[in-house]
Amino acid sequence: MERQFRKIKVIWPLSGVFLVMGASLLVAQAQDRFDDKRAALELRKTTGAHTRFLWTHQLSPQSEMQAQDGLELWVLDSDDGKGARKIGESASYHRPLFTADGNRIVWTNHPQRNMHVINFDGSGTRTLGKGQMGDVWRDHETGIDWVYYRDLAEGKLKREEHIYEGGKVWRLQLDNPEIKELVWDKTPICHGTLFYLSLTDDGKYGASAFPWAGNGIAAFPNGAYQKIHFGCWSGLSPDNSGRFFSFDGDHRYLHLFDWGGVNSREIRLDVVPEYKSGDVYFPRWTNHPDFMVMSHGPRTYLAKFNQDCTAIESFTKVADASDQLPQKHWLGYPDCWIDPGPNFKVADTSNLKSLDAVAEVKGAWPGETEDLVFAWKNRAATNRVPTDNGNFLPIELEESGLARYGRQWQMHLRGGQFTPNNDEAARHIIAACQKAKAMTIELVVNPAIPRQDGTILVLEAPSGEAANLRVLQWLNRINIELPRSVVFDKGDKAGQAKVLFSLVMPKSGPAHVVFVYEKGRVDAYLNGEFQDSQSMGGFHKWEKDDFAAWTDEAKLIFGRRVDGSDPWQGQLEGVSIHARALARDEARARYQLYAQDLKDRTPAPQSSVTARLVSRSAVPSEQDMGIYSRALVTNEYEVLKVNQGEPVSGKILVQQYAVVDRKPLPIVSEWDIGKEYSLVLEPINDHPELEGERLFEDVDNLDAPVFFEVSSW
């Protein structure tokens, strides 16, 4: 079957064309009551083909994710002359999507955790079974429609009943739902009450979070995967080109990439007509590569990409309930089907470079994966280790307290901590090292204070027992403590772990450290150079039961002890653990793998200023935070004086952390309009790590220069 989208000639209406930030924006309606029949005609003109559109209509205010009951399903057909109308009964319509022919709609009733299908005309409603639908895909060779879904019964509930460790992904046949196939169980997938998934036209690749907030692409079924960006609502172009987008944390930008995460560009969505402030939601590619859908409050839009997919060329408003809905009501989850015509044809994905199963670049860190049981380079990397069953263990970290990511996506610690997002990483380390009776620990350390006392990493039980393992800074030294079976047996330190090795740090800059431990002996390396070898002679226990005394309940924590004590300040990256003692040439080679990433790093331009607060964004409530645990807000300042650093003047916008661990920071209470503040600022463009952070802004002067305030921590 040959399939090729017909060439579309876009016919614009004669009125309502605006030029905003270089994009030609189509205003589809006058500002009076919305004319849905006229919208259908303009939809036809925009796409040049028979087009169908759907959305959900809130009957009561609720979160944008709309997981609850109290929703209506609405549809619009460009060609039938009937205008917009409700189909089905009021219920929970979670992420409804068109089938490939546009004749049916599949959705999830989230409170019931059931999947359903309905015909476009409102007839034929039936239940497909338990689960949460992510996408609908047609096998063009067989004509079979498949529904891809997450098995919520296998998900683990975490804070506020959000599902952060989703179950396996399956697919079932839409017309024979008893026929099911496993699609993905290599990693947890997606987050919260939301399961977003989109497939290439040939079904070989899917975009989602593996898990959240690391959006990326996976080969189905159960193939390799690659993390590309942070945020939510990822999407894959339906033309098998491999183009991928991910939604920014400020819910105003798409970050769009070519295959493999290259050629990144930002696409603004807050230039939609009638945009004043607030978030944009629900971006999704349609079945045509030139178009996507989105919502902004009580309005839904069809957006057309320009030829190079570098910007939105036009917006067509398809539905508007602003004159009917009170504030905080949304039109949500839009989807659009465009008739591809009889000759629709796209190439398959065989011309795309295969995703590497272990690392993005051959020969890059973490390098040798034999007995590799933990690997976290930085947040931007696809951090994972192979397991015995042929799967991957993804290593994603969650930050708390005064911990955030640095400009190279490394851990940035000032009294907070990072922990793996589940306990599997710690269990994997413990089991493997107990079996091997050996380990190699690698880390890149950059202390914020040259001489301090603090825990860099610890593998420790919550009960407060002696740690299985601890790496710490003591004055200007990096120490590794012995596992629990080698302790002081006399004196006032009886029962405490002994220091295996004390490594003197360089005076400044990041240092690459490797400790190799086996049978009571430790070898230490600093920046690729062997330092010394020490033997704990006389501790015969280690030759009999190395690691046997480790507790299985230990948790892996970076930046402080498990009880929150002994905090460390600095930056940490490139952490790996092997369940074997690497040979000397291997240990030295670890530095060579990481040296290129440390080379030529330059600090961001910085300005220390005195500035007056002119206007401020509202600090989000806990309900506003949704699934996010921290958030920045944008505040407007007027610079009064540059105390040090790069020149900056006039009115500026400053992104500042306002919420940490879902609670407002104490400093927020001190933000008073008209008050003067000392701020240390860096240009926002020098902080790519903030792209996935939740951002709230409701200030007016959005054309002012934007900075990130780094003086808080």
Instruction: From 220, 224, 216, 287, select the one nearest 255 (Cα to Cα).
Output: 216
On the question of a cis peptide bond just before residue 221, with omega within 30 degrees of 0, the verdict is yes
Three-state secondary structure call for residue 543:
helix
Report how far residue 156's alpha carbon sits from residue 169's, in angstroms, rounded to the nearest whole number.
14
Report how far residue 402's alpha carbon sits from residue 104's, in angstroms, rounded to the nearest whole number.
49
Split at pLDDT 50, 70, 90, the class of 304 is very high
Q: What is the pLDDT of residue 247?
A: 87
The answer to whether residue 578 scores a pLDDT higher than 60 is yes
Q: What is the pLDDT of residue 32?
A: 56
Q: What is the pLDDT of residue 251?
A: 81
Q: Please state the rounded mean pLDDT for residues 647-662.
A: 95
Residue type, 463: S
Report in angstroms the alpha-carbon separations of 556 from 51, 114, 424, 509, 651. 52, 37, 10, 25, 44
* Alpha-carbon 700 to chain mean position: 28
Strands 438-447 vs 452-460: parallel, antiparallel or unpaired? unpaired
Split at pLDDT 50, 70, 90, the class of 539 is very low
Q: What is the pLDDT of residue 463?
A: 82
On the CB side of 201, how many CA atoms lie within 13 Å of its CA?
24
Q: What is the pLDDT of residue 19?
A: 31
Q: What is the pLDDT of residue 359?
A: 41
Split at pLDDT 50, 70, 90, the class of 67 is low
Tens of pLDDT, residues 480-523: 987 666 666 677 766 666 777 788 988 888 999 999 998 878 89
The answer to whether residue 389 scores a pLDDT higher than 90 is no
Q: What is the pLDDT of residue 156?
A: 56
Among 3-12, 318-327, 461-470, the range scoring the smallest mean pLDDT is 3-12
Q: What is the pLDDT of residue 327?
A: 56
**Exposure string (b/e) for 24-43, b if CB count within 10 Å is 16 or more?**
bbbbbbeeeebbbeebbebb
The answer to whether residue 159 scores a pLDDT higher than 60 is no
Q: Of all residues in the chain, what percent carry a pLDDT higher than 90? A: 57
3-state secondary structure 569-631: EEEEEEEEEECCCCCHHHHHHHHHHHHHHHCCCCCCCCEEEEEEEEECCCCCCHHHHCCCCCE
Q: What is the pLDDT of residue 15?
A: 31
Tens of pLDDT, residues 399-412: 999 999 999 999 99
Instruction: From 492, 542, 487, 550, select the one nearest 517 (Cα to Cα).
Output: 542
The answer to whether residue 476 scores a pLDDT higher than 50 is yes
| Residue whose pair of structure tokens reads 């790519």 in the numeric block | 688
What would the two tokens of residue 508 be? 């400044």
Handedness of CA 12, 17, 23, 26 (dihedral sign): negative
Q: What is the pLDDT of residue 402?
A: 93
The answer to whether residue 163 scores a pLDDT higher than 50 is no
Q: Please state the rounded mean pLDDT for residues 141-160.
A: 77
If one compares 391 and 46, the residue with the highest pLDDT of the two is 46
Q: Of all residues in the chain, what percent carry a pLDDT higher than 70? A: 86
Hey, how many other C-beta atoms are within 10 angstroms of the C-beta on 263?
Answer: 13
Q: What is the pLDDT of residue 34?
A: 84
Report in angstroms the alpha-carbon separations of 41 from 14, 75, 214, 627. 14, 14, 40, 38
Beta-bridge mates of residue 711: none
Contacts of 116-122 spanning 24+ positions with Cβ under 8 A? 117/174, 118/73, 118/87, 118/88, 120/52, 120/75, 120/77, 120/87, 121/87, 122/87, 122/88
Report in angstroms the alpha-carbon separations of 67 from 58, 62, 120, 236, 642. 11, 9, 22, 24, 49
- Across the chain, what does the average pLDDT equal? 85
The answer to whether residue 226 scores a pLDDT higher than 90 is no
The answer to whether residue 1 scores a pLDDT higher than 50 is no
Split at pLDDT 50, 70, 90, the class of 384 is confident
* Maximum mean pLDDT: which of 117-131, 191-205, 219-233, 363-377: 117-131
Report how far residue 393's alpha carbon sits from residue 576's, in angstroms, rounded to the nearest whole number.
13
Contacting residues for 95 by C-beta, under 8 A, at least 6 apart: 107, 108, 133, 134, 194, 195, 196, 333
Among 286-295, 536-545, 672-681, the range scoring the smallest mean pLDDT is 536-545
If one compares 555 and 489, the residue with the highest pLDDT of the two is 555
Q: Please state the rounded mean pLDDT for residues 51-72.
A: 76
Tens of pLDDT, residues 329-351: 678 899 999 999 877 778 788 88
Q: What is the pLDDT of residue 691?
A: 82
Among 149-163, 199-213, 360-374, 477-491, the range scoring the smallest mean pLDDT is 149-163
Report how far residue 589's alpha carbon sits from residue 55's, in angstroms, rounded to the nearest whole number.
55
Provide, for the chain, the percentages of residues in helix, strand and coil under a 3-state DSSP scheme, each rounded to the nearest 5. 10, 45, 45
Q: What is the pLDDT of residue 422?
A: 80
Report in angstroms the alpha-carbon separations of 692 from 409, 481, 504. 11, 36, 36
Among 57-61, 78-82, 244-248, 457-461, the range scoring the smallest mean pLDDT is 57-61
On the question of a cis peptide bond just before residue 213, with omega within 30 degrees of 0, the verdict is yes
Instruction: From 287, 286, 284, 251, select the one nearest 269 (Cα to Cα).
Output: 251
Split at pLDDT 50, 70, 90, the class of 537 is low
Residue type, 133: M
* Maximum mean pLDDT: which of 115-124, 184-193, 619-628: 115-124
Polymer length of the chain? 713
The answer to whether residue 31 scores a pLDDT higher than 90 is no
The answer to whether residue 194 scores a pLDDT higher than 50 is yes
Dihedral, CA atoms, 387, 389, 390, 396, nearest 10 degrees? -40
The answer to whether residue 211 scores a pLDDT higher than 90 is no
Q: What is the pLDDT of residue 273?
A: 81
Q: What is the pLDDT of residue 24?
A: 40
Angle at 483 between CA 478 and CA 486, to 5 degrees: 105
Q: What is the pLDDT of residue 185?
A: 85
Q: What is the pLDDT of residue 325?
A: 60
Question: What is the model's pTM?
Answer: 0.79
Split at pLDDT 50, 70, 90, the class of 166 is low
The answer to whether residue 538 scores a pLDDT higher than 90 is no
If one compares 344 and 383, the residue with the highest pLDDT of the two is 383
The answer to whether residue 135 scores a pLDDT higher than 90 is yes
Q: Please state the rounded mean pLDDT for residues 636-651.
A: 96
Report how far residue 376's alpha carbon sits from residue 386's, in angstroms, rounded to the nearest whole number.
13
Q: What is the pLDDT of residue 153?
A: 66
Handedness of CA 258, 263, 264, 266 (dihedral sign): negative
DSSP-derived secondary structure letter, 151: -
Instruction: From 490, 471, 630, select the one nearest 557 (Cα to Cα).
Output: 471
| Residue whose pair of structure tokens reads 């670049």 in the numeric block | 361
Report how far residue 290's alpha carbon sits from residue 242's, in angstroms, rounded to the nearest whole number.
14
Q: Please state the rounded mean pLDDT for residues 284-312.
A: 93
